[in-house]
Amino acid sequence: MAKVLVVDDEANLRKVLATMLRRTGYDVTVAADGEQGLAEFQKSGADIVVTDLVMPKVGGMEVLRAVNSSNPDVPVIIITAHGTVDSAVEAIKLGAFDYITKPFDQAEIQSVIAKAARTHDIAQRNARVDGRARAAIVGESPQMQEIFKIIEKVADTPSTVLITGESGTGKELIATALHEGSSRRSKPLIRINCAAIPKDLMESELFGYERGAFTGAVTSKPGRFELADGGTLFLDEIAEIPVEMQVKILRALQESEFERVGGIKTTRVDVRLIAATNRDLELEIEAGRFRKDLYYRLAVVPIVLPALRERQSDIPMLTRHFIEKYNRKLNKKIEGITEEALSRLQAYPWPGNIRELENLMERVLLFADGPTIATKDLPDHIRQGAAQAAAPTPGAIAAPTDGAPAETGLKDIVRMKSAELEKDLIAKALEETGGNVTRAARLLQISRKSLQTKMKEFGLRDEGGDE
């Protein structure tokens, strides 16, 4: 049950909203003004904040800034009178989730709050934090260095970018870096998670609607394309957009124009589009769920984010980063991590990628007793999984000869066994697909480029086509 904080200086409006939302199943807290609302938010928190725009002392814009500053994952919905709609639109550009005009339609506000609840739920499940605080872009590995070069080259261009990669690899951070590195940085970066939008509301969400376009449309409303005019629009989980809607997106990209739902006036915008997905869009095209022409229009600049298991050399740097971050956040004084514990982290496959590593490091710092994180501080599945991957075969550790030290220690064994396992899996995938690199990459759930690099590294086959 989502917790909703309603902030409004009109007692009747507070009562109506609270009653309506409680009947729908929400846990509702009310506040009589912005000052009281912020105090309540700091005390008890909320999953969604609904606030009036114009209030004495502390207004809705100040509530928005304070909530976004302390917890950017909490959607803030603005309630506004018809005369202040422009201010509400400006609030959305500054990070508000949506706005509702007075007098509001109950179906409309229920729809907006339900959408906000879905968005917050996705954010919680993904353990998302503010893009600038995320560390997915931290790395010294060759894969990340190539991505840094791409960002530097294309950030200040109007070209569309398609970011692909598994969940938790940091796609939103890359989008933020592209926007911040462009001349559009002073304009809005509008983010939308397409998985959080019901399919029947997708068109009005993206392109807006005119008054009377459908039941509940009591006033005209701009869509995300309009709100991003002059700036950047980031469409996360773009594979969730219905095929019939993809045609209109393609036209908006090619012609920089569209019509609102229920409207006849053509609106022109200057928007740089960045899209992201954790799905294989080529497979989606084959299945008829994604248009090939839209794919080619989006993938002008493709950026493929590697899974964490493909960039194990970055784990020490990421680990240090998270130790520093959560020392500050949790007021801890952890000095570092032992070599053995770090080897266990590097041997683990990280199915949740950097997001999983960050969540684990926060948990470890919370419960660590000593000044340094040791193997005993790691969860069982990390210790056991790494130990199994690192278990040497008889004779794997070479005995010292002529007084020389052993050739392989624990860290070397972990890397060696991980590489052997990786090579075996790749060889098996190639065998099952008859040597077809594209199909083998899909089977392994990695990019074709990453597979070719690994094949070259392991000497499985010269880099080339799918013969």
CATH number for position 358: 1.10.8.60
pLDDT at 1 over 70: yes
Q: How many other CB atoms are found less than 10 A from the CB of residue 296?
A: 12
pLDDT at 331 over 60: yes
Say what the pLDDT of residue 452 is: 81
Domain end residue (candidates: 335, 368, 390): 390
- Whether residue 26 is found in the same domain as residue 119: yes
pLDDT at 327 over 50: yes
Among 45, 94, 37, 99, residue whose Cα is nearest residue 65 = 94
- Whether residue 350 is found in the same domain as residue 240: no
Residue 6 — very low, low, confident or very high, per pLDDT cuts 50/70/90? very high
pLDDT at 130 over 50: no
pLDDT at 30 over 90: yes
Task: Compute the average pLDDT of residues 55-76.
Answer: 89
- Whether residue 156 is found in the same domain as residue 284: yes
pLDDT at 301 over 50: yes
- Whether residue 281 is found in the same domain as residue 163: yes
- Whether residue 279 is found in the same domain as residue 157: yes
- Whether residue 104 is found in the same domain as residue 192: no
Say what the pLDDT of residue 340 is: 92
- Whether residue 355 is found in the same domain as residue 409: no
Domain end residue (candidates: 372, 390, 408): 390
- Whether residue 245 is found in the same domain as residue 300: yes
Q: Which amino acid is at 200?
A: D
- Whether residue 152 is found in the same domain as residue 301: yes
Higher pLDDT, residue 432 or 147: 147
Contacts of 428 (CB under 8 A, 6+ apart): none
Say what the pLDDT of residue 417 is: 64
- Whether residue 405 is found in the same domain as residue 375: no
What CATH number does residue 449 fall under? 1.10.10.60
pLDDT at 403 over 70: no
Among 179, 220, 225, 218, residue whose Cα is nearest residue 202 = 225
Task: Compute the average pLDDT of residues 405-429.
Answer: 65
Round to whole Å and give the CA distance between 48 and 116.
Answer: 7
pLDDT at 134 over 50: no
With the C-alpha atoms ordered 302, 165, 315, 400, is the resulting torsion angle positive or negative? negative
- Whether residue 44 is found in the same domain as residue 144: no
What CATH number does residue 181 fall under? 3.40.50.300
Tokens read off for 363: 């948990």
Say what the pLDDT of residue 316 is: 92
10 Å CB burial of residue 158 (0-12, 13-18, 19+) is middle
Give how many domains the chain has, as a whole number. 4
Domain that holds residue 366: 309-390
Say what the pLDDT of residue 419 is: 72
pLDDT at 399 over 70: no
Say what the pLDDT of residue 400 is: 43
Task: Compute the average pLDDT of residues 77-90.
Answer: 80
Say what the pLDDT of residue 365 is: 94
Higher pLDDT, residue 21 or 212: 21
Task: Compute the average pLDDT of residues 443-458.
Answer: 78
- Whether residue 175 is found in the same domain as residue 300: yes
Task: Compute the average pLDDT of residues 203-216.
Answer: 86
End-to-end CA distance of the chain: 54
Tokens read off for 51: 């606030």
Q: State percent of the chain over pLDDT 90.
A: 52
Residue 299 — very low, low, confident or very high, per pLDDT cuts 50/70/90? very high
Round to whole Å and give the CA distance between 284 and 292.
Answer: 9
Say what the pLDDT of residue 150 is: 93
Does the model's pTM come out above 0.75? no
Torsion of Cα atoms, 263 then 269 then 272 then 278, to 10°: 0
Rounded to 5 degrees, what angle do the CA atoms 87, 91, 96 make?
A: 145
Domain end residue (candidates: 390, 422, 438): 390
Higher pLDDT, residue 135 or 97: 97
Q: State percent of the chain over pLDDT 70.
A: 88
Long-range (24+ apart) CB contacts under 8 A made by 410-417 are 410/339, 410/340, 410/343, 411/339, 411/343, 411/346, 414/343, 414/344, 414/346, 414/347, 414/386, 414/389, 414/390, 415/312, 415/346, 415/347, 417/347, 417/389, 417/390, 417/391, 417/392
Rounded to 5 degrees, what angle do the CA atoms 330, 332, 336 make?
A: 120
Task: Compute the average pLDDT of residues 153-168.
Answer: 94
What is the pLDDT of the chain when averaged over all its residues? 84
Say what the pLDDT of residue 138 is: 79
